């Protein structure tokens, strides 16, 4: 689609947007081999859209880190300024090396109302998002429109989760009081394997690789009775790298917006207008 749009030229961008928004090109690729309540779009976002989403997500996470970290990364990218990135480069090239980020070792209860998550997520950064920086990324708004159009309902909370190369998520069911009947996840960066296992004894299980640009949705029984995990291994390649997921959940109540972490993110919006980073 991106190539087609370039071919047609910018004067016809309206047509391309129309085609994209019709969902034909992408929804077309939905796979239906999963149990009821699980949907998967293996290549929902174009490379350019993935780069926009990942840049915006990293921007939010990065600006919540210490000044020291931000300076370190700035130096790093300056030293790499010769290899200019284009929209055709894989999104994972937007990650700095692991040691440039303030990854947490293991998630504990502090600051989060999700006690049973203790010990589940390893080597990660995360943030509850109260707003996207749409004024800083030119095409972010239209990409977000496509993303949120997949949500079964519109009362949502958004969370971003950045796994280090050796980060992982152990099997768990999302806290049932922290969100409602569905959970949607966008994968960006390096591919990982999602494992789903029914919680009962000898429960049914299945797994799938999550390439960058893919989206999955768990709803109803799947969301409540299957454990999900993201392991350190990829299916085949053996290359394990950083991955960032955008997790969207239906809010249990409007009060879930009042997350202290979310308020903090509102206060950190420095930087200048950046188009097509």
Among 62, 168, 174, 191, interactor with Fe ion by CB under 5 A: 174
Q: Which of residues 59 and 216 has its CB atom nearest to Fe ion in the complex?
A: 216
Look at residues 213, 221, 168 and name the one whose alpha carbon lies nearest to residue 34.
221
Q: Which of residues 5 and 94 has its CB atom nearest to ligand AKG in the complex?
A: 94
Q: Which of residues 156 and 247 has its CB atom nearest to ligand AKG in the complex?
A: 247
- Quick check: 168 binds Fe ion (CB under 5 A)? no
Report the nearest approach of ligand AKG to the CB of residue 173 (Å): 9
Question: 245 contacts which partner out of ligand AKG, Fe ion, none, CB within 5 to 8 A by kind?
Answer: ligand AKG
Report the nearest approach of ligand AKG to the CB of residue 229 (Å): 8
Q: Which of residues 25 and 114 has its CB atom nearest to Fe ion in the complex?
A: 114
Q: Which stretch binds Fe ion (CB under 5 A): 132-140, 166-174, 250-258, 269-277?
A: 166-174
> What does the alpha-carbon distance between residue 210 and residue 207 come to, in Å, rounded to a whole number?
10
3-state SS of the chain is CHHHHHHHCHHHHHHHHHHHHHCHHHHCCCECCCCCCEEEECCCCCHHHHHHHHHHHHHHHHHCCCHHHHHHHHHHHHHCCCCCCCCCCCHHHHCCCHHHCCCEEECCCCCCCCHHHCCCEEEEEEEEECCCCCCCCCCHHHHHHHHHCCCCCCCEEEEEEEEEEEEEEEEECCCCCCCCCEEEEEEEECCEEEEEEECCCCCCEEEEEECCCCEEEEECHHHHHEEEEECCCCCCCCCCCCEEEEEEEECCCHHHHCCHHHHHHHCCCCCCCCCCC
Question: 230 contacts which partner out of ligand AKG, Fe ion, none, CB within 5 to 8 A by kind?
Answer: ligand AKG
Report the nearest approach of ligand AKG to the CB of residue 246 (Å): 9
Please give the residue ranges that form the binding site for ligand AKG (CB under 6 A). Answer: 161, 169, 174, 185, 228, 230, 245, 247
Report the nearest approach of ligand AKG to the CB of residue 161 (Å): 5
Report the nearest approach of ligand AKG to the CB of residue 68 (Å): 27
Q: Which of residues 5 and 250 has its CB atom nearest to ligand AKG in the complex?
A: 250
Q: Count of alpha carbons within 13 Å of 153, Cβ hemisphere only?
A: 14
Report the chain's terminal Cα–Cα distance, integer Å: 20
Q: Which of residues 16 and 127 has its CB atom nearest to ligand AKG in the complex?
A: 127
> What does the alpha-carbon distance between residue 149 and residue 189 come to, in Å, rounded to a whole number?
22
Q: Which stretch binds Fe ion (CB under 5 A): 20-28, 69-77, 97-105, 171-179?
A: 171-179
Q: Which stretch binds Fe ion (CB under 5 A): 168-176, 187-195, 255-263, 265-273?
A: 168-176
Q: Which of residues 72 and 114 has its CB atom nearest to ligand AKG in the complex?
A: 114
Report the nearest approach of Fe ion to the CB of residue 129 (Å): 16
């Amino acid at each position: 689609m991106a190539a087609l749009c370039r071919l047609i030229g910018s004067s016809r961008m309206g047509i391309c947007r129309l085609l994209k928004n019709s969902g034909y090109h992408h929804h077309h690729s939905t796979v239906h081999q999963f149990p009821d309540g699980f949907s998967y779009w293996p290549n929902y976002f174009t490379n350019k859209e993935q780069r926009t989403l990942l840049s915006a997500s990293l921007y939010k996470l990065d600006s919540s880190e210490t000044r020291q970290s931000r300076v370190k990364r700035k130096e790093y990218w300056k030293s790499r300024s010769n290899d200019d990135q284009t929209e055709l480069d894989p999104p994972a090239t937007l990650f700095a090396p692991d040691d440039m980020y303030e990854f947490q070792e293991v998630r504990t209860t502090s600051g989060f109302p999700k006690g049973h998550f203790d010990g589940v997520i390893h080597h990660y950064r995360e943030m509850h998002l109260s707003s996207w920086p749409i004024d800083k990324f030119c095409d972010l708004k239209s990409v977000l429109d496509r993303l949120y159009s997949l949500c079964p309902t519109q009362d949502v909370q958004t969370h971003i989760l950045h796994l280090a190369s050796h980060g992982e998520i152990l099997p768990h069911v999302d806290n049932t009081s922290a969100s409602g009947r569905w959970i949607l996840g966008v994968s960006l960066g390096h591919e990982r394997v999602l494992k789903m296992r029914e919680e009962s004894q000898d429960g049914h299980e299945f797994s799938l690789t999550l390439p960058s640009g893919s989206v999955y949705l768990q709803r109803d029984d799947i969301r409540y009775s299957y454990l999900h995990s993201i392991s350190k291994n990829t299916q085949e390649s053996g290359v394990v790298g950083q991955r960032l997921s955008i997790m969207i959940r239906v809010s249990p109540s409007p009060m879930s917006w009042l997350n202290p972490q979310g308020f903090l993110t509102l206060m950190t919006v420095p930087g200048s207008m950046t188009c097509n980073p």
